Amino acid sequence: MSSPSIAVATGRLLDDSAVSTPYVAVTMGDGAGIGPEVTVAAVLDETILAECRPVVVGDASRLRAAAETIGRTIELRRIDAVEDAVFDGRTVNVFDLGLLPEDLPWGELSPVAGDAAYQYIKVASELAMAGKVQAICTAPLNKEALHAGGHVYPGHTELLAALTETEEVSMMLSTPKLRVIHVTTHIGLIDAVAKIEPGLVQRTIERGHEALVRAGIPQPRIGVAAINPHAGENGLFGYDEEAQKIAPGVEAARANGVDAVGPLPADTLFFLAGRGDYDLVVAMYHDQGHGPVKVLGIEAGVNITVGLPVIRTSVDHGTAFDIAGKNIADSRSMVEALHQAAEMATR
C-alpha cells in the first residue's frame, strides 16, 4: 500500500506498560478542510499517547503541510501494518493512500478530496473489521465533496453502516454534561416525523442503553423527547405523534428492563439532563439533539456511532473551510474523540 517511511522516526518506543493500549485508526477527513490540522495535533497529544496508539489513514504529504501550518515539527512514518508504527511523541504514523495532489487548495470544495475522504474511511473500517485496530476516530468530511467524489451517503454514520454491512445504527453525541442519541438524523424534518415509529424508538433507546452500560454506567437513566411542544399537550399540538409513535416504544424498552421515561417536553428534558437527572436523552430528529449539544460548545462534543460492530468516534464539527490552513482550528474535539475511542476500546 505504501513505500518506506518519509523519515524513519527514532526515539522511545512504547514501554512494556503501554503494550495493552489499543490501536486507533484515525481518518484525516477532507484534506481541504481542517481535518489534517486537528489530526496532527491530536495524535501527538501527550494524554492521547498515554491512552492509545493512533495510526492515521490519509495522505502523508497533506499531513506534512498541516504540521507546517500549525507550527509542529514532526516525523512522518509511512506504515503498511500497525506493528510498523513508532510512538515517541513526535512521529505521525500514516497509512499513506497518496490520493491528494500536492497543490490541493485549502478551504475549497474538491471532488478529489471527497473521494479521498471516502477511501480513508474504507481502509479504516477494513482495519477495524479485521481486528488490526480496536477503534476508529474520524476527522470531518464534507458531504457535498463526498457526493461530488461519487459517494452518495448522508454522512459518516450511514457510510460506516454500509461499509460494515450494518442494517441500522444510531448517532450519539457526548459531552461532559450531556449525552444525546438520535432516532433520526440526516433527513428533512417532515421525513423524520414520518420515519419515527415505535419499533425504531425502542431500538434506539436500547442501543443507547447498551452503549452506556458498556461505557461503565450500569443502570443508565434515559429521558425520551417528544416531537411536539409540551409533548403534544394531550393532543392539542400535532397529530397525536407522542401517543402513537413514541410512547409504545418507550413502554417496550421499559418491558425489557431499560430505565426509560417519556415522551417528555424536549425543552424541559434537556434542562433536566444538563443538571444530571438523566444520563442520556433520546432526541427524535437531528437539530433537536444537535442544538443543545452545540450550545454547550463544539470543542467538547464527540460523535459516537452506536450499533456498529466496531467502535467509532468523531469530532462534532465540520470541515470549516473558512479557517482551513490558517492555524486557527481547535483540536480539542478531536482529542476528546480519540480519548473516548481509547476508553471504549479499553473497556
CA distance 171 to 81: 30
CA distance 347 to 155: 27
Q: Which of 187, 129, 195 is nearest to 158 (CA)?
A: 187
C-alpha cell at 252: 417496550
Name the average pLDDT for the chain. Answer: 90
Q: What are phi and psi of 75, to 5 degrees?
A: -105, 130
Q: Which of 2-11, 68-77, 110-119, 267-276 shows the lowest mean pLDDT across its residues?
A: 2-11
- Tell whether omega for the bond before 229 is within 30 degrees of 0, i.e. cis: no
Q: Which of 38, 40, 30 is nearest to 108 (CA)?
A: 30
Share of the chain above pLDDT 70, in %: 93
Architecture (CATH level 2) of domain 1-168+301-347: 3-Layer(aba) Sandwich (3.40)
pLDDT tens figures, 218-244: 999 999 999 999 987 787 888 899 999
Angle at 81 between CA 78 and CA 82, to 5 degrees: 95
pLDDT over threshold 70, residue 2: no
End-to-end C-alpha distance for the chain, whole angstroms: 31
CA distance 277 to 260: 12
C-alpha cell at 26: 484515525
CATH topology identical between 1-168+301-347 and 176-296: yes
What angle, 0 to 180 degrees and rounded to 10, lies between the N-to-C axes of helices 198-214 and 247-255?
Answer: 40
Q: Which of 214, 201, 213, 215 is nearest to 282 (CA)?
A: 201
CA distance 148 to 5: 32
Domain locations along the chain: 1-168+301-347, 176-296
CA 120 to chain CA centroid, Å, is: 14
Sign of the alpha-carbon torsion through 138, 195, 226, 287: positive
Which residue, chain included where needed, has cell 481547535? 330
Q: Is the pTM of this model over 0.75?
A: yes
Taking residues 298-310, what's their average pLDDT? 83
Residues making up the chain, counted from first to last? 347
Helices and strands in the chain: count of H runs, count of E runs:
13, 12
The fold of 176-296 is Isopropylmalate Dehydrogenase (3.40.718)
Helix, strand or coil for residue 31?
A: coil
pLDDT tens figures, 60-77: 999 999 999 999 999 999
